[in-house]
Each structure stands twice: as C-alpha cells, then as structure tokens.
Amino acid sequence: MTATPPNPLAELEPVVARFLDRHLATAKEWFPHDYVPWDLGRSFIDAPWEAADSGLSAVARTALELNLLTEDNLPYYHLAIWSLFGGQGAWGEWARRWTAEEGRHSIALRDYLLVTRAVDPVALERERMDHVSRGYYPRRIPGPLDGLVYVTLQELATRIAHRNTGAITGDPVAERLLVRVALDENLHYAFYRDVACAAIELDPSAMVLAMKRQVLGFAMPGFELRGFRERAITIAAAGIYDLRIHHDQV
C-alpha cells in the first residue's frame, strides 16, 4: 500500500486549477428571475394562502419543498467545503464559485413556489429557520479524499433528483427550472469527478478506502431536516429517487 501524500490538496492544486478553468469556460450565465412565472403572483396579505391554491400534486410539492430546504442550508455546505479543501488558491476560488452558483438554486425554487402558491409561505419559512438554525455538519468525512468522494456522489445524486422532480410536476415551467438547476449540478459533478479521478492516480489505495467508506455511509444533505424520512419515503414511492435509482445511477 502506498503512503498517502502528506498534503494531497497541494498535490491536486494544479488539477483543480485546470478543471476550474474548464468549468468557467463551460458554465452558462443564467438568472433566476427568468424561470419564475411572475404574472401568476398575488399578495399573500390580500389573499392568504390556501391549500387549494396549488395546481401541483402533493408528491410534487413534497419533492420541491425538500429540494428547496436542502438548498437553503448552503452556508453550512460552504463551511464544509471550505473546511475540507481550504480557502486558498484554486481550491478557494472553486469553493467561492461553487457557492455563488448554488445560491441561485434556492432563490429560483423559492420564488417559483411562492409565486405559484404551491406551498404555505409561513410554514416554509419556519422550516427554513429551524433547518438553518440547527445546521448541517458532514458526518463520516474524515479528510479531503473522503470529501472528494462524497461530493462527487452527492452532486450526481442531486442532479438526478432535480431532473426527476421536474419530470413529475406536470408543469412545464417547473420542469424548465429544474432542468436548469440540474445543469449546474451536472457541471459540479463533472468537476468533482475529474478531480477525484486525479486523486485516484495520486493515491489509489487511499482513494479506494475513501470510496468504500463514503459509498457505505452515504446520506444525502438534508437528512437532518425534520420530517426528512417521511418525505424521502414519499419521493421514493413516486419514483423520483429511491434505492434502485441510487444503486443503478449513482
């Protein structure tokens, strides 16, 4: 077994810089407001929310709420990325860019859900406050190599979940939005995947052990959300994301 390099992050820095440049050249600028049907908006003060306001199915609302609340915890995801990979050089530039791109997702999803009156705005905000107040802390991620494996798996899983959610909404506007979000997630996945492949070349033994730990212990971000298990069961039953999809596609 080869010895793990004393500083794998430093060894991978040139690779990160190269794939960051590729990402910046590939990523397309987009604006959340272009994906929201603003003409449907009504004041919640003049017309308080009622469950009958939404044209989405209960399953679609559940999936969209979970997607949004998961995205809302971005401050803690940024902290986790920063802590695992550092904030200097190409790693730091990537962490900042990734955070900026991820920030658009919750903006667009929340605006869509509120404008279409798909969810109770008071209940949604209370859940966000509770979730973010309690925070997200990465578990079973002992170091940067495990971190690379985890984020590679997570970005791919998130891309699939967003695409499949859009497909079951029955709303072309929602599907277009979620396709756009999934495109971001796909580029993030490609970045982490290729850096992880470089890490395998750098230290195959350590990466194989990291892959074993992260595959066996994988949990989606959002698992700490109150009611996550019940929502996950609903989403799995609808075929949006279940163990078979996870096994076959992730």
C-alpha to C-alpha distance for 149 and 40, rounded to whole angstroms = 42
Query: The tokens 């991978």 sit on which residue?
Result: 12
* pLDDT-based confidence at residue 72 (cuts at 50, 70, 90): very high
pLDDT value of position 153: 95
Task: Determine the average pLDDT of the residues in 192-209.
Answer: 97
* Mean of all residue pLDDT scores within the chain: 93
The share of the chain scoring above pLDDT 90, in percent, equals: 82
Task: Determine the average pLDDT of the residues in 186-190.
Answer: 98
Q: Is the pLDDT of residue 1 over 80?
A: no
| 155 CB neighbour count, 10 Å cutoff | 22
Q: Is the pLDDT of residue 177 over 80?
A: yes
* pLDDT-based confidence at residue 3 (cuts at 50, 70, 90): low
Name the pTM for this structure. Answer: 0.92
Q: Is the pLDDT of residue 5 over 80?
A: no
C-alpha to C-alpha distance for 244 and 242, rounded to whole angstroms = 6
Q: Which CATH number fits domain 9-37+52-249: 1.10.150.120, 2.60.40.1510, 3.30.70.240, 1.10.620.20?
A: 1.10.620.20
pLDDT value of position 80: 92
* pLDDT-based confidence at residue 246 (cuts at 50, 70, 90): confident
Task: Determine the average pLDDT of the residues in 133-151.
Answer: 86
> What tokens appear for 201 in the block?
């070349």
Q: Output 223 or 161, whichever has higher pLDDT.
A: 161
Task: Determine the average pLDDT of the residues in 175-201.
Answer: 98
pLDDT value of position 79: 92
* Residue-range domain boundaries for the chain: 9-37+52-249
- In three-state secondary structure terms, 120 is coil
Residue ranges in the chain assigned as alpha helix (H): 8-26, 58-72, 74-85, 89-115, 121-134, 144-168, 172-202, 204-217, 228-237, 243-249
